[in-house]
Amino acid sequence: MKLAEIQQALESELAGVHGEEALALVRARYVGKDGLITNLRKNVDFGAMTLEDKRSFGSGFNTLRDTAEGLLKAAAERIAATAHGEGLKFDFTLPSSDRRLGAIHPIVRTQIEIEDIFRSMGFTVYTGDEAVSEYENFDALNIPSDHPARDMQDTYWLENGMVLRTHTSSMQNRALRQLGAPLRAVFPGRCFRNEALDITHENTFYQLEGMMVGHDVSVANLIAVMRDFLSAVFRQEIEVRLRPGFFPFVEPGFELDFRTTLGGVRRWVELMPCGMIHPAVLRNGGLDPSRFSGFAFGLGLTRLAMLKHGVPDVRLFNKADLRVCQQFTATL
């Protein structure tokens, strides 16, 4: 190989080298102990050469060796500079100019807040499945298949016979069986109904169910718990009232209204259905209704978040519209 060819070969190899390890290999191959350039000198029969030839070889060799060292040094500097980010068009240690932090969705925030309040009152937070059996969603709650109450909750049925739960009451049976009595628990979660959508109806919405079961639990306990809970949510003294309401899984059943000065106006606001747990539901949950009694309520978590934050249309919550969600980041 001629000297010029060796230099060319070295240059083209170095152009493809981007790491320190690869560079060390190239260095060894050319100027190492057994390197291409180093060996040039070993393989020459100086005894057979004229003085002129010796001089010419010597200067050519020295030039090549010096050039090779220079090329290797330049490559080493290039690799080191890239490793430290120099020479790049950006500094990736600088903070991004587009730092958009996420925030907790207003419904989930409301849920967390309510869970904390109930925990402080001795309630357990219990979660369940969104796809449940027909039994859990209806039959266990005293709603047999021919009961007109089924028509009130237009249901999404799955091909395997299960349903997307239409209400968090679907957790009642499981909670009674798994937790037993005495019991104080809330179960928040997403519910699904095939609704005609309007400003207060979504097909996907959140409820928070609550149950308290024990010896001698009465309507008075229901009123007291609801009053304390709502006073904590709205951070002011809240009055509640019960009106009769019908649900097959409570007896007697109520609609609970509360009164506050929301928006400067003192008025009654319809908030949630509730009632004393029907004896059949207790029995289905493995409890003896002559020994245990309890209350249950089904809070519309989505509606409460609307009330609390003055959101006029429930559909805004599910739209993933940043202009809506961003309004809640400041209050985290």
Q: Which CB, 13 or 113, lies closer to ligand FA5?
A: 113
Which single residue brings its beta carbon nearest to ligand FA5? 300
DSSP letter assigned to residue 198: B
Q: Which DSSP string do the residues of 41-91 spell out, in sequence order? A: HHT--GGGS-HHHHHHHHHHHHHHHHHHHHHHHHHHHHHHHHHTTTTSSS-
Shortest CB 91 distance to ligand FA5, Å: 49
Q: Are 155 and 164 a contacting pair, CB within 8 Å?
A: yes
List residues binding ligand FA5 (CB under 6 A). 167, 169, 193, 195, 201-202, 205, 207, 209, 247, 250, 253, 272-275, 296-298, 300, 302-303, 314
State the minimum distance, in angstroms, from the CB of residue 314 to ligand FA5: 5
- For ligand FA5, which is the closer residue by CB, 10 or 250? 250
Q: How far is the CB of 141 from ligand FA5 (least distance, A)?
A: 8
Judged by beta carbon, residue 26 or residue 307, the one nearer ligand FA5 is 307
What is the enclosing helix (H) or strand (E) of 157? none
Q: Which run of H or of E encompasses 259?
A: strand 250-260
Coil, strand or helix: which one is 328? Answer: helix
Which residue's CB is nearer to ligand FA5, number 120 or number 194? 194
Q: CB of 19: closest distance to ligand FA5 in angstroms?
A: 59
Measured from the CB atom, is 71 or 242 closer to ligand FA5? Answer: 242
**Alpha helix (H) ranges present in the chain?**
3-15, 20-31, 36-42, 51-83, 106-120, 134-137, 172-179, 219-234, 279-284, 301-309, 322-325
Residue 202 CB, shortest distance to ligand FA5, in Å, is 4
